[in-house]
């Protein structure tokens, strides 16, 4: 209650008490109705109207409080003692003078009476029966967890409706990473949606740990030897030494047919594909003759953009969220971008002091313009088309950069130290901020070279890297300390990716290993004869690519007689789907290999029987 309302309440209360005192004779320090009754008995001849209505007990108490007395019950206790002594000393007089019960008439409920009634009512009603507005109750329930909401739903029907409101479960679903970008109207019951998502996540984690799911090899027989592989979401793109480019959609299993440009297609023999890149809307490929083609993943067919470079490309990168293509030939870096009408134009052309070895287009730039990180020799540059010259992030003479990766706010790269610098902890991984272009931290201490780094799409504040010393390391960027270090591959680590609980690494010997970060143990592994150059996984699937180093092995030609050697040397792309449950043990055998011995006709080679058979006799012949 505000100060003004409290002052007005006190004034109304004082005025009401004054009015009551005017109606009845003022007596000094009388708090009991019995005293007033005794006065009427002692003076029965009085006919004045001042005793028409008895004064309630709380009126005297409130009067004493308003007068400033802090202990009004002290006089009441003293008078009670005096009355009891008088009754004990003169019991006959008390019986003779016992008052008759006064007849009270109905009166209008006034302010003080209503106040006492309201106070008694609030004290007698339990807290959970207090009626609150629905919006206020929702604000209280927003502070509860999922388990607490489930307990509240068992209290009553009203609480069940309140605890199952979609406005409570929709934010929980988004906070746990399910259905990002969805609206509240997209699901009729977000509580059931969250329950199904959690059950699916538990099933997927169990399938990951037990390697339970389906494995599909993405083969293209006319492609000869596999040269490069890229993936984004559910799209996988591969380039071959025959000059063909293949694009798969692993969600609907639709193979998008894309054709090369007329110049590369008319060349005999066709130039091999050296680099491929894919995003959700675009796909790009670079050929050995310097041609670059860009296709739309929605339509396929002929390229929507094509240009020729003076030499073979060393690096190619597509922005994951904008139509930007960055390519590097020697020391020249070119940035192409599509405008709002879909027309591609060169955005900038820059020259670097040394040959570009790797580049990555940065995501999440939006309207700020494209940005790319490049490594050239001992230097790392940040390329912005709005700047006249690329900004230098790192440059130390004699310390070459071995690998590079970026995310939305950081860029990380491995540095090989030589000479006297090897005594200062060995090779390091440098992490720079993109906003300030300053070094944030330096992690790692290894005698081997860092060969691969995974920073994009990783768990928050985690960085995974592989080394030639056969180990995979995961660092915590907040503390700058290693989380786990695993002895993984005998021929060095060539690819790595991590999330919040698992780590997938690929080695030069062809092994793909899946690790549990919490247990620091290997869950399972898969082998192919070529080095693992590409590893990408999501919560429900994984794509691995074993790319041969030798692009022209013996038997690689499709016209050779040794087709077994040809398939053995061409490379492999494997797609693991952990959403599909493995069939029970009885259903894993093909129908042609199963028999219950009751059917009269069978296949010629039914290995379910002891010996092959063509036809079983209907009746026994005694043989």
The string of pLDDT tens digits covering residues 246-267 is: 999 988 776 666 887 776 667 7
Name 335's bridge partners: 326, 348
Cis ω for the linkage preceding 269 (within 30 of 0): yes
3-state secondary structure of 576: strand
CA distance 469 to 447: 7
Residue 504: CA atoms inside 13 Å, Cβ hemisphere, count? 22
Sheet holding 235-240, edge to edge: 226-232, 235-240, 245-249, 254-256
Quote the CA–CA distance of 245 and 378 in Å, as a whole number: 34
What is the model's pLDDT at position 285? 95
User: Which residue, chain included where needed, has tokens 């006919």?
Assistant: 47
Alpha-carbon distance of 322 to 347, in angstroms, equals 14
Count of CB atoms within 10 A of residue 134's CB?
11
DSSP 39-66: HHHH-TT---GGGSSPPPHHHHHHHHHH
- What is the tens place of the pLDDT at every residue in 483-536? 999 998 999 999 999 999 999 999 999 999 999 999 999 999 999 989 999 999
pLDDT at 38: 42
Q: What is the pLDDT of residues 118-172, one digit of tens each?
A: 555 443 333 355 567 778 888 888 999 999 999 988 988 878 888 899 999 999 9
Query: 3-state SS string over 428-445?
Result: EEEEEECCCCCEEEEEEE
- pLDDT of the residue at 468: 93
d(CA 535, CA 512): 9
Distance from C-alpha of 546 to C-alpha of 536, rounded to nearest angstrom: 13
Per-run averaged pLDDT (10 residues), the chain, 623 residues:
70 74 50 40 41 53 56 58 61 46 47 58 43 80 91 85 90 90 89 92 92 88 86 92 89 75 74 92 93 89 90 91 91 92 90 92 69 92 88 90 91 84 76 90 89 89 93 92 92 94 95 94 92 94 93 60 63 90 52 50 44 46 43
Distance CA 249, CA 230 (A): 12
Question: Residue 524 is encoded by which pair of tokens?
Answer: 């399972």
Q: How close are the terminal C-alpha atoms of the chain, in Å?
A: 106
Give pLDDT, residue 408: 81
- Cβ–Cβ under 8 Å, residues 380 and 347: no
Question: 254-256 and 273-278: which strand pairing?
Answer: unpaired
Q: Rounded to whole angstroms, how far apart are CA atoms 403 and 415?
A: 8
Using CB atoms within 10 Å of the CB of residue 385, give its burial: 0 to 12 exposed, 13 to 18 middle, 19+ buried.
Answer: middle
Tokens of 450: 């860092």
Query: What per-residue confidence (pLDDT) applies to 307?
Result: 92
Q: Burial level of 534, CB count in 10 A (0-12/13-18/19+)?
A: buried
Residues whose CB is less than 8 angstroms from the CB of residue 327 and which lie 6 or more positions away in sequence, other chains included: 286, 292, 309, 313, 315, 316, 317, 333, 334, 336
């Amino acid at each position: 209650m505000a100060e003004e309302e409290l002052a007005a309440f006190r004034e109304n209360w004082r005025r009401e008490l004054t009015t009551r005192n005017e109606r009845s004779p003022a007596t000094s320090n009388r708090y009991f109705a019995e005293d007033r009754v005794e006065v009427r008995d002692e003076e029965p001849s009085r006919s004045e109207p001042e005793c028409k209505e008895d004064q309630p007990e709380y009126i005297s108490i409130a009067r004493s409080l308003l007068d400033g007395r802090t202990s009004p019950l002290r006089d009441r206790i003293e008078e009670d003692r005096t009355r009891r002594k008088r009754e004990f000393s003169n019991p006959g007089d008390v019986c003779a003078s016992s008052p008759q019960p006064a007849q009270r008439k109905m009166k209008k409920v006034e302010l003080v009476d209503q106040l006492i009634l309201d106070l008694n009512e609030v004290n007698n009603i339990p807290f959970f029966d207090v009626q609150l507005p629905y919006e206020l109750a929702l604000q209280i329930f927003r502070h509860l967890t999922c388990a607490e909401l489930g307990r509240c739903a068992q209290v009553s029907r009203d609480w069940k409706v309140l605890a199952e409101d979609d406005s409570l479960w929709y934010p929980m679903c988004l906070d746990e990473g399910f259905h990002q970008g969805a609206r509240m109207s997209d699901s009729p019951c977000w509580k059931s949606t969250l329950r199904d998502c959690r059950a699916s996540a538990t099933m997927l984690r169990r399938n990951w740990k037990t390697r339970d799911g389906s494995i599909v090899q993405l083969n293209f027989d006319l492609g000869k030897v596999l040269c490069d592989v890229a993936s984004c979401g559910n799209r996988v793109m591969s380039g071959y030494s025959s000059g063909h480019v293949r694009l798969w959609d692993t969600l609907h299993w639709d193979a998008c047919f894309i054709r090369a440009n007329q110049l590369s297609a008319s060349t005999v023999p066709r130039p091999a594909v050296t680099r491929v890149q894919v995003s959700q809307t675009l796909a790009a490929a670079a050929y050995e003759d310097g041609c670059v083609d860009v296709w739309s993943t929605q339509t396929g067919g002929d390229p929507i953009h094509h240009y020729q470079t003076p030499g073979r490309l060393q690096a190619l990168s597509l922005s994951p969220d904008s139509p930007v293509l960055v390519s590097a030939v020697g020391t020249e870096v070119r940035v192409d971008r599509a405008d709002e009408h879909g027309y591609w134009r060169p955005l900038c052309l820059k020259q670097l002091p040394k040959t570009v070895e790797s580049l990555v287009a940065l995501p999440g730039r939006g309207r700020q313009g494209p940005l790319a990180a490049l490594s050239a020799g001992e230097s790392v540059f940040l390329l912005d088309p709005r700047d006249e010259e690329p900004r230098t992030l790192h440059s130390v003479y004699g310390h070459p950069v071995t690998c590079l990766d970026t995310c939305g706010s950081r860029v990380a790269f491995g540095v090989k130290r030589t000479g006297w610098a090897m005594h200062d902890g060995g090779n390091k991984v440098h992490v720079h901020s993109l906003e300030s272009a300053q070094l944030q931290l330096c992690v790692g201490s290894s005698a081997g070279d860092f060969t691969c780094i995974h920073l994009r799409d990783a768990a928050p504040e985690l960085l995974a890297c592989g080394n030639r010393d056969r180990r995979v390391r995961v660092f915590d960027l907040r503390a700058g300390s290693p989380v786990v270090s695993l002895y993984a591959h005998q021929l060095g680590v060539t690819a790595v990716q991590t999330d919040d609980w698992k780590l997938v690494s690929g080695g030069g010997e062809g092994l793909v290993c899946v690790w549990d970060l919490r247990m620091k143990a290997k869950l399972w592994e898969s082998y192919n004869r070529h080095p693992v150059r590409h590893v990408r996984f999501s919560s429900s699937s994984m794509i691995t690519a074993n790319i041969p180093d030798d692009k022209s092995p013996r038997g690689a030609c499709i016209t050779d007689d040794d087709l077994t050697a040809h398939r053995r040397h061409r490379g492999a792309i494997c797609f693991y789907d952990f959403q599909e449950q493995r069939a029970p043990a009885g259903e894993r055998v093909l129908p042609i290999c199963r028999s219950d011995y009751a059917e009269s006709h069978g296949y010629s080679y039914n290995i379910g029987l002891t010996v092959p058979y063509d036809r079983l006799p209907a009746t026994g012949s005694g043989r």
